[in-house]
Structure 1
Amino acid sequence: MRLWCQALTVATLLSAQPVLAQTEGWQTYRDPDFGFSAMLPTEQFAPIAVPETQGVTLRSADGEAQINFHGGPAQDMGRDMLEERLSSGDQIRTITYRAGGDSWFVLSGYYKPEGIDEPVIFYTKVLFSLTHDSFSAFEISFPQSDKPRYEDMVEIFEDNFTRPAG
Structure 2
Amino acid sequence: MKTTAAVVIALLAASSAGAQAESWTNYRIPESGTSVEIPASIFSELAGKPDGYGQQFRTSDGRADLTVQAVPNQGLPPAEFLARKNPPSGIVYQRVTPSFFVVSSIKRDKIWYDRCNFSQRYVHCVLINYPVAEKRQWDGVVTRISHSLGAD
The TM-score, its normalising length taken from structure 2, stands at: 0.77
What's 2:97 paired with?
101
Q: Where does 1:1-166 land on structure 2 (aligned, <5 Å)? A: 25-51=23-49, 53=51, 54-86=53-85, 88-89=86-87, 92-112=88-108, 119-129=109-119, 131=120, 133-162=121-150, 164-165=151-152
The code of the aligned residue for 1:104 comes to F
Tell me if the contact between 1:125 and 1:139 (Cα under 8 Å) persists in the aligned partners.
yes
1:109 and 1:52, CA in 2 relative to 1: closer, same or farther beyond 3 A?
closer
| Cα RMSD (Å) | 1.9
The code of the aligned residue for 2:104 comes to S
- Flag structure 2 segments of 5+ consecutive residues without an equivalent: 1-20
The code of the aligned residue for 1:34 comes to S
What is the percent sequence identity of the aligned residues?
24
Counterpart of 2:114 in 1: which secondary structure? strand
Quote the Cα distance in structure 2 between the aligned partners of 1:30 and 1:155. 18
Larger Rg: 2
Tell me if the contact between 1:55 and 1:68 (Cα under 8 Å) persists in the aligned partners.
yes
What's 2:9 paired with?
none
Q: Which moved more, 1:61-70 or 1:40-49?
A: 40-49
Runs of 4+ in 1 over 3 A off after TM superposition: none
- Flag structure 1 segments of 5+ consecutive residues without an equivalent: 1-22, 113-118
Counterpart of 1:155 in 2: which secondary structure? helix
Tell me if the contact between 2:102 and 2:114 (Cα under 8 Å) persists in the aligned partners.
yes
Could you list the per-position Cα deviations for residues 30-68 of structure 1 after superposition, in whole angstroms to 9, with x for gaps in the alignment? Answer: 111110110111111123242564201110122110000
How many residues are treated as equivalent by the alignment? Answer: 131
Quote the Cα distance in structure 2 between the aligned partners of 1:98 and 1:120. 17
